[in-house]
Amino acid sequence: MRSRTVTQTGLQVCRRVRSVGVSDPPADAVPDLPVLSPVLDRLRSHVIHHSVKYGEFVLKSGATSSWFLDTKQTACRPDGIVAVTDAMLAVFDDVIDDVDAIGGLTMGSDPVAYGVAAVAATRGRRLRSFSVRKEAKQGGITGRIAGALQPGDRVLVTEDTTTRGTSLIEAADEIRAFGAIPVWMSVIVDRGGTCAAMAADAGIDYRPLLTAPDLGFGFGT
């Protein structure tokens, strides 16, 4: 059973990293963690249990790391997406009534945007969801936008995780080109710590649900 689990984990990460070896977390892998609100702490527990992988990884940048983050393992589980929605509604509580739509660059945003919109609807929050395609669909009428985004919508741009922030900014640019307004931005986990400055330069209110330090790791490690 263990060997099958390791193989599946390696396949899950192979598109973005080369997995040299995957293992259970060492006993001292998770130090004392920052104190979070109960709703964010529940999300963090899910991420640590399901989405953090330990081992030796060669990242897309060529750098090596002792941990890898596969947050789709949280966003694609029913209890995980409920935890993500709870956190998203809490973090954006002061503006959530102003958000018309949620989405971002496929496929990193897809489970987050669609899942949050569906679960939020059961809480009386009605958000349209959409994806930004990697390229325009031939014969389409909405360019790179797929889904229920409408011109003039005030948008929460999202992604499962970010390291550099480039996918989020690319999505925001396409949303503007479509005629909607990227006002807010969020991810389940910000691993790199560079997105905040990029969002600020773009005039976007960026609020990650969790960061690498919240999980016990340094930015960029």
176: tokens are: 């503007």
pTM of the model: 0.85
Q: Mean pLDDT throughout 3-24?
A: 37
Q: What confidence category does residue 2 fall into, taking pLDDT thresholds of 50, 70 and 90?
A: very low
Question: Could you read off the pLDDT of 142-172 as tens digits, one per residue?
Answer: 789 999 999 999 999 999 999 999 999 999 9
Q: Which residues contact 175 (CB under 8 A, 6 or more apart)?
A: 103, 132, 145, 149, 155, 157, 181, 182
**How many Å apart are CA 192 and CA 199, to the nearest integer?**
13
The domain segmentation of the chain, as residue ranges, is 78-215
Q: Mean pLDDT throughout 69-95?
A: 98
**Bond from prior residue into 198 cis (ω within 30 degrees of 0):** no
**How many Å apart are CA 45 and CA 210, to the nearest integer?**
11
**How many Å apart are CA 148 and CA 155, to the nearest integer?**
12
Closest CA to 39 of 94, 91, 96, 112: 91
4-8 LR contacts (CB < 8 Å, sep 24+): none
Asked if 179 contacts 152 with a C-beta cutoff of 8 angstroms, the reply is yes
Q: Mean pLDDT throughout 44-73?
A: 89
Q: What confidence category does residue 60 fall into, taking pLDDT thresholds of 50, 70 and 90?
A: low
Average pLDDT, the chain: 87
Closest CA to 115 of 198, 144, 208, 104: 104
Question: Could you read off the pLDDT of 172-195 as tens digits, one per residue?
Answer: 999 999 999 999 999 999 999 999
**CATH number of the structural domain 78-215:** 3.40.50.2020
- Residue 80 CA: distances (Å) to CA of 75, 94, 96, 147: 5, 23, 20, 23
